[in-house]
Structure 1
Amino acid sequence: MENDHSSDYIFKAYVVNTAAYDAGDREASGAWLYFPTYGEAINEVMEQIGLPAGAPPGKYFIDDYVCRIDGMKPVLPMYCDFGELAMLAQGLSDLSLEDRDLLAAVQESPYRLTTLEQFREFPHNTEFFTLEPSIKRLDDLGWSYVAQHMDILLTPPLLDAIDPVPFGKHAMEEDKGCLTNYGYLAPPGDEWQHEQDARPAKKQAEKKPSIMERLEQSKKECAGQNKAQPHRGKSAPEL
């Protein structure tokens, strides 16, 4: 049975019950799990292949993948935790349409992603590349280069005398760029942000207040309430 994400999946994995597969029951030992996924869908697949919910890797393995991103299938693991695959797929699913085209262009280029880590990190590195969708031919790139570097207005006779192709070749060498079906792709020179580089910033953004900070905040709130609602009798002790 296919889950609700079967129409818009990033990749799907054929999950196999290891013991049933080894016992020769290969036809009924597996089922497709679509990613991004969720807990209920995972439990349904586990039940379908005869395993309890929460079965650890080793009790099952992934016999095959179907991916909608070029070059991704070879880096996906045979043995893995479903949670890690779900996070990977969700990050790629959350990409904007422009960034999905960017990823498709990258996978057509010499800069194609070749490791699982790079696919996990791509959503945090969309600024690492620039994509010009309107430039898909060498002469388009040449005219763009001429327009950027010419300070004078070129008359039609001058434009007719220009061969844009050599300018396009020069621009490509200068940018270390390439032409793809999605446009002209070039790396801007920014550093690729690795997972360990992104974690401290995320932790800082999600940092919870310390006990002392909460006590101080509580003290301020109590003081404000005392001022707003004065009462007779013994005052509350300070924190």
Structure 2
Amino acid sequence: MFLQIKDLAFCYYRSKDYAIKNFNLEIEQGEIISILGESGSGKSTVLRLLSGLETPTSGIIRINNQIMTDDRHFVLPEKRGIGMVFQDYALFPHMTVAENIQFGLKKQTKRDKQQRVDEVLDLVNMAKLKKRYPHELSGGQQQRVALARTLAPKPSLLLLDEPFSNLDADLQIKIRNELKEIIKKTGITSIFVTHDREDSRAIADRIITMRDGAAYEWESICTTRKLEDKRVEVLTP
């Protein structure tokens, strides 16, 4: 099992309620998982806990047989080998496309960096635009650049937070198909959160629905079970 989350719980500072409680999840190498839920369900908090941006109250996160966090360990975000694409893409406006991608490449020669930039630009079909600046790109193009920058360091796990929230409906359909193809080419285990069920169905191998910080697993037989609980829910495909 590539990713294991066991009994994860988290409470924000000065909050009386848990944002995440008894969250359990296992993911195989190369799977694309969607965490589906409404605003406030805890889905984005799970990504922050996985990436190390937040410290869980309790529970265990293990990635590729290495413990990221438990009651005795906490691996810093920059040492987890995780890539994250944010809702607003977070591109540097004063840098070109190529410079944005190269920014995250450390401890490599200039030649190796340039080669890796060209590789990921080809992957996301942006090679011809590498000298442009973010403001000269469409929303879909900016998203592909953000994805390329995240893929460039070859992360072992890819996290995407509402990747289509800034796109109009027509572009959203086009980009999500491209995104799935790109991720499958890389073979990177991926988790993306969304409130849109159609996005989940179009991209994910499995869908995890969340409510009040708890997780449900959606399977191909359209039956979901609440992890580590007795309640059962049926979803219509």
Query: In proportion to residue count, which structure has more strand?
Result: 2
TM-score (normalised: structure 2)? 0.19
Whose Rg is larger? 1
TM-score (normalised: structure 1)? 0.19
**Higher relative contact order (Cα pairs below 8 Å, separated by 6+ residues):** 2
